[in-house]
Amino acid sequence: MLGKTEGSQRMKKWLFFAVSACILFLLVGVAASQEKREGYITGKIVNGDSENMSGWRIRFYDMKAGPTPFTTEYGRVPDFIARSEDDGVFKAKLPEGIYHMMALKKGPGKRLGPAGEGDLMYPPMDSTDPKAYVVKAGETTDIGVISGAVPFRKEWAVQVKTGIEGTVLDAEGKPVEGVLVFAALRPEVEIPLYASRDTDKDGKYVIGLPEGGQYYVSVWKEKPITVMVKRGEITKGIDIRVTRSR
């Protein structure tokens, strides 16, 4: 009787280790599979004088996730951002796909957001046929040396034809200056598609959009507001209350 009990216990232990090994194998397999779906893109950006090459932000836009960022009708939020090193070299790990790329160096004291006056950028905003970069799983795409960055031109500023406009207010109803407002196609997305410029001293914002439809508008990490937009019109009076301290 004791021998049968010991045998049963050994069988249970064997089954436990076998199942554990299978689970571990599956987890490793899933991780490896996910790793294989990612690749790298690398390059080097230089200024005309080959100086001050640090501080560039290399923005990548998944071409399947949204429309082109090269437009004056809206400001698209990048899907991924890499920063250049002191020598201008950058390297980004991206999911397999096809991307537009925009290198941007913000002016002194300026934060992230759509390109504006005082910024340097490559390629120019009015590029009619920007390059598409392919990232393959497990491979590195070297795009070489990027040169020819140009100062942002005032005619490249977003000129909203379809969009949303309003004011950002704090809990006391006072305007909030210097924040970005975002618009997404779904309420739960981590990275929205479109962004405004920083709100002005009166808390005013405007978001350009490529087309009409239903959008979810919010300040970062705040609960979004559902807004219906008609193509060719600016939906006004969409005020946003900020509940978190900035």
Q: Note whether 74 and 123 are same-domain residues.
A: yes
Q: Are 112 and 168 part of one and the same domain?
A: no
| Partner residues linked to 41 by β-bridges | 92, 141
Unique residue bearing structure tokens 């590195």: 140
In a domain, 23, yes or no: no
| pTM as predicted | 0.79
Give the integer Cα–Cα distance in Å for 42 and 135: 10
Chain segment 35-59, per-residue pLDDT in tens: 559 999 999 998 755 456 778 999 9
Q: What are phi and psi of 182, to 5 degrees?
A: -115, 155
Query: What per-residue confidence (pLDDT) applies to 36?
Result: 57
CATH number of the domain at 173, please.
Answer: 2.60.40.1120
Question: What integer pLDDT is reported at residue 116 of this predicted model?
Answer: 80
The 3 state secondary structure assigned to 145-213 is EECCCEECCHHHCCCCCCEEEEEEECCCCCECCCCCEEEECCCCCCCCCEECCCCCCCCEEEEECCCCE
What's the mean pLDDT in 54-77?
A: 93
Domain-embedded: residue 33: no
Q: Would 3 be classed as within a structural domain?
A: no
